[in-house]
């Protein structure tokens, strides 16, 4: 608790949550596992971040700890592959939990709240180059993205992410046996809805399949920088 309080104090200089704009979200991805004994502090930290309007905090559960004796109930091979993709993009073949990736480019391994706070500050100081506008039309959302980045530009991927705001899990085996674990913004789906070269306006229609919250993330292809993000309210 003392370290989390220090983290929040370090972030006090950021823009107040109520003043945040949709196109100024900082995306923080936590790669975690129910079978990882060192992950609960990072899970709690992500829960603190998930309360902030200026941060899109996402918890992605990986499956490579399942062999210890407890199969993570949220893990999928796709989220493990995403973490490996980030590792390869950074020149590494090794992955760890917990690991936070801020803005698609900055990696923090382990529970290091002050490092996370510093990186969030850096990303908040740099406006996102892609502006995303989401409007509701009946049962669908219309997603529009524009950018003023000059050519040449790498291809971008526009991704739709679904997540569950809060989950509790009774863990009966493995390193965290006996714990009732809390998780926040647990990713339940991650799909590419389009590729975009930045020319003109990107537009796509999205029809939600359930009531889960959704977000749009525009990212440089090859697990590069996140250039824009917006929640679908």
Q: How far is CA 6 from CA 13, 116, 118, 119, in A?
A: 13, 11, 12, 15
pLDDT score at 11:
52
**For residue 130, is pLDDT > 70?**
yes
**pLDDT-based confidence at residue 6 (cuts at 50, 70, 90):** very low
DSSP type of residue 110: S
C-beta of residue 109 within 8 angstroms of C-beta of residue 32: no
What mean pLDDT is predicted for residues 46-54? 97
pLDDT score at 210:
85
Burial 114-138 (b: 16+ CB within 10 A, else e): ebbbebbeebbeeebbbbbebeeee
**pLDDT-based confidence at residue 152 (cuts at 50, 70, 90):** low
List pLDDT tens digits, range 20-47: 344 489 999 999 999 999 999 999 999 9
The residue to which tokens 């480019």 are assigned: 105
List pLDDT tens digits, range 154-195: 899 999 999 999 999 999 998 999 999 999 999 999 999 999
> How many residues in the chain?
233
The lowest-confidence range among 5-14, 32-41, 64-73, 122-131 is 5-14
Tokens of 66: 């399942």
Q: Mind giving me the DSSP string for 119-174? A: HHHHHHTS--SEEEEEEEETTEEEEEEEE-PPSS---EEEEEEEEEEEEEEE--SS
Non-local CB neighbours of 81 within 8 Å, separated by 6+ positions = none
- What's 13-40 look like in SS3? HCCCHHHCCHHHCEEEEEEECCCCCCCH
**For residue 101, is pLDDT > 80?**
yes
Q: State the average pLDDT for the chain.
A: 90
| Residue 101 parent element (H or E) | strand 99-102
pTM (global) more than 0.85: yes
Non-local CB neighbours of 89 within 8 Å, separated by 6+ positions = 222, 223, 224
């Amino acid at each position: 608790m003392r370290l989390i309080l220090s983290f929040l104090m370090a972030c006090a200089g950021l823009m107040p949550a109520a003043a945040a704009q949709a196109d100024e979200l900082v995306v923080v991805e936590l790669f975690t596992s129910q079978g990882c004994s060192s992950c609960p502090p990072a899970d709690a930290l992500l829960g603190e971040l998930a309360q902030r309007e200026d941060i899109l905090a996402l918890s992605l559960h990986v499956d490579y700890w399942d062999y210890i004796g407890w199969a993570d109930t949220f893990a999928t091979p796709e989220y493990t592959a995403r973490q490996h993709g980030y590792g390869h993009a950074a020149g590494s073949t090794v992955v760890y939990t917990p690991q936070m990736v801020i803005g698609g480019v900055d990696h923090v391994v382990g529970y290091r709240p002050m490092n996370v706070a510093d990186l969030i500050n850096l990303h908040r100081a740099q406006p996102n180059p892609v502006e995303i506008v989401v409007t509701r039309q009946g049962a669908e959302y219309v997603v529009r993205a524009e950018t003023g980045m000059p050519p040449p530009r790498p291809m971008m991927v526009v991704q739709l992410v679904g997540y569950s705001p809060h989950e509790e899990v009774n863990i009966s085996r493995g390193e965290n046996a006996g714990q009732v674990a809390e998780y926040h913004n647990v990713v339940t789906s991650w799909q590419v809805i389009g590729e975009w070269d930045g020319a003109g306006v990107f537009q796509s229609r999205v029809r939600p399949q359930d009531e889960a919250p959704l977000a749009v993330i525009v990212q440089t292809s090859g697990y590069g920088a996140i250039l824009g993000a917006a929640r679908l309210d």
